[in-house]
Amino acid sequence: MRIISGKYKGRRISAPKKLPVRPTTDLAKESLFNILNNEFYIDEVILLDLFSGTGNISYEFASRGCTQITAVDTDYGCAAFIKKTSEEFDFDINVIKADVFKYLAKAKIKAKIIFADPPYDFSDEKFEKIRQLVFDNNILTKNGYLIIEHSSHTNLTQLENFSHSKKYGGCVFSFFEYSQKLNSKEEE
């Protein structure tokens, strides 16, 4: 895996092979950030990275100047790897080793972008639970996105707050947002 832009553009990061992960491909990641760069100032974003795995998405945000990053993963090895890599790159990433669903049920954070990359074999009910916890607990700011990465075999268009999706090979990013965006002055 490599960082595709920002201060550490081109740097490769090698995760231990034993981690239970499926990192977002460079092509899909680059396409995602092309979208996000047109909508947000990355250095002003508060990011919540769920099912963060190797930390691939968190590192990309950090390299681009985002300083308010929380990465949540249930696997001890993943959390330890993100923490170690963050220290090596001097990234300010708050790493939390926790079950994502339990974390979302009690989270006090308000994030502009929430990126969730759960296992591709998740049931429809688990995908819905991510969406429900984020919106019911007002974790997403009014002008933000919940982005769920999933396989092209999964369809999330029927879920409430679905906005649009982008497909890159076998990977799909489904975007969720409040039905009406507010002016930044009205945002909480």
Dump the DSSP string for the chain.
Answer: -B--SSTTTT-B----TTS---PPPHHHHHHHHHHHHHH--GGG-EEEEES-TT-HHHHHHHHTT--EEEEEES-HHHHHHHHHHHHHHT--EEEEES-HHHHHHH----EEEEEE---TT--HHHHHHHHHHHHHTT-EEEEEEEEEEEETT---TTSTTEEEEEEETTEEEEEE--SS---TTT--
- φ/ψ (deg, to 5) at 131: -55, -45
**The pLDDT value given to residue 1:** 87
Q: Which domains does the chain possess?
A: 44-176 (3.40.50.150)
Identify the pLDDT of residue 180. Answer: 63
Residue stretches of the chain with pLDDT short of 50: 182-188
Round the CA-based radius of gyration of the chain to a whole number and report it. 15
Q: Rounded to whole angstroms, how far apart are CA atoms 139 and 144?
A: 10
pTM tops 0.85, yes or no:
yes
